[in-house]
Amino acid sequence: MAYCVQCGGKMEERIPDGDERSRLVCPDCGHITYENPKLVVGTLPVVAGKVLLLRRAIEPRYGTWSYPGGFLEMGETIEEGASRESREELGIEVGKLRLHGIYDRPSVGIVTIIYLAEIVRGEPAPSSEALEARYFGPEEIPWNELAFPTTARALVDWVSSTR
């Protein structure tokens, strides 16, 4: 049971007047809860023609490979969020961000924005979120061990861009 954040009433699921989708609506005060996709931001740090990936130390998809990335926080610019995730997960300071691509997963409500980046400080190191970090050339991508469809799509585009 969901409760109204405005008045504490019990929310009901129905299609509001003039809407086309079912929402949680408060019958007492009329408050409507809108669910929208969340933004994930990340980087593809590239050094000497190889991309830096990490092996996830957290669920979901523990042990699979991905780029450093995570949910954008309130008050952050996209580039700040992408840089923060790279710092938190691998201990590297990235710079010279260039938009690489935007990838959606409508079934789970996620939009991922990925930047190409250079490492300006620090050596990639494991963290509470990364079991290991490793550089992969275009021919070395572990396609069968990637974390998410978005990871694969971003790396397909990266490999194409190197040809």
- The partner residues of 79 in beta bridges, in order of sequence, read none
Residue type, position 153, single letter: R
Residue 29 vs 156, nearer CB to Zn ion: 29
Distance CA 103, CA 109 (A): 11
Number of residues that bind Zn ion (CB under 5 A): 8
Per-residue mark of binding to Zn ion, 92-131 (x: CB under 5 A):
----------------------------------------
Residue 2 vs 125, nearer CB to Zn ion: 2
Stretch that binds Zn ion, among 22-30, 51-59, 69-77, 140-148 (CB under 5 A): 22-30
Largest Cα–Cα distance of the chain, in whole Å?
Answer: 61
Closest residue by Cα to residue 64 from 74, 72, 54: 54
Give min distance, CB of 22 to Zn ion, in A. Answer: 17
- Residue 5 sits in the site that holds Zn ion (CB under 5 A): no
- Residue 26 sits in the site that holds Zn ion (CB under 5 A): yes
Distance CA 112, CA 40 (A): 5
Q: Which two tokens stand for residue 145?
A: 């061990």
Which one among 31, 61, 84, 105 touches Zn ion, defined by CB under 5 A? 31
Distance CA 73, CA 152 (A): 24
Write out the residues near Zn ion by the rule CB under 5 A: 4, 6-7, 9, 26, 28-29, 31
